[in-house]
Amino acid sequence: MLPQDIRDALRGLYPDSVLDNTQLEVTVPRLTGFMVFTLIAPQKWLAIGSAPSPGLIRIHPSYYAPKTATGLALIGHELCHQVQWRTVPNFLAAYTAEEERNIAGHPPWSNRFEAECYASEQRAATLLRQRGYPSRQALALPFCMCQGSPFR
Ligand SMILES: [Zn+2]
């Protein structure tokens, strides 16, 4: 289960059923599944979050910052994918099809699932800042990669 303070901070932004039934692992995400990457050096990408299966999210220890607006928003990004896991029929296949469109030359934002979760992340960060959570350097880039990506 998510720690209580995280659930309290994100209550109302994500469904209770997701907040109360998602397991959080603070660990280096494995390079499979849905992931958030950040650029840490020229051409060097680091996976900072993932939602590899229904009910499970992983956050990289260096990016786990549950007392900050952007740290909570990163968790929110992955919780948004949990909503998708639960509501999109055959989500894995649908997501993969979106990624294949990207690889075929569309910009990353053509993945509608990532566009939705990045927008969710931005909304959460803005609201949490308004509620007084300290900001943190923005780290997540507005796209994720999945299995089959060049960063695998
Ligand atoms: Zn994502």
pLDDT tens, residue by residue, 17-47: 999 999 999 988 776 656 666 666 666 667 7
Task: Please report which confidence band the pLDDT of residue 143 belongs to, taking 50, 70 and 90 as the band edges.
Answer: very low
Rounded Cα–Cα distance for residues 59 and 64 (Å): 6
147 is a domain residue: no
Handedness of CA 59, 16, 68, 78 (dihedral sign): positive
What are the pLDDT digits (tens) for 67-90?
999 999 999 999 999 999 999 999
122 is a domain residue: yes
Per-residue model confidence (pLDDT) at position 147 = 40
Q: Is 87 or 146 the better-scoring residue by pLDDT?
A: 87
Rounded Cα–Cα distance for residues 88 and 126 (Å): 26
What's the mean per-residue pLDDT of the chain? 82
Above pLDDT 70, what percent of the chain?
Answer: 75
Q: What is the pTM of this model?
A: 0.82
66 is a domain residue: yes
Handedness of CA 138, 72, 151, 142 (dihedral sign): negative
150 C-alpha to ligand 1 centroid (Å): 16
Per-residue model confidence (pLDDT) at position 77 = 94
What is the domain range of residue 93? Answer: 4-139
Per-residue model confidence (pLDDT) at position 28 = 82
144 C-alpha to ligand 1 centroid (Å): 5
116 C-alpha to ligand 1 centroid (Å): 9
Residue 93: alpha-carbon gap to chain centroid: 18
First to last CA, the chain: 28
Q: Is 68 or 150 the better-scoring residue by pLDDT?
A: 68
Residue 132 tokens read as 């007084």
Q: Is the separation of the CB atoms in 73 and 124 below 8 Å? A: yes
148 is a domain residue: no
Q: Is 46 or 11 the better-scoring residue by pLDDT?
A: 11
Domain count, the chain: 1
Around ion ligand 1, residues with a beta carbon closer than 5 Å are: 114, 117, 144
64 is a domain residue: yes
84 C-alpha to ligand 1 centroid (Å): 10
| Helical H segments across 11-111, by residue range | 16-19, 69-87, 91-103
144 is a domain residue: no
Residue with tokens 């995400």: 29
87 C-alpha to ligand 1 centroid (Å): 16
What are the pLDDT digits (tens) for 93-123?
998 888 787 766 666 567 889 889 999 999 9
Collapsed DSSP state (helix, strand, coil) of residue 80? helix
Cα Rg of the chain (Å, integer): 14
21 C-alpha to ligand 1 centroid (Å): 19
Rounded Cα–Cα distance for residues 149 and 99 (Å): 8
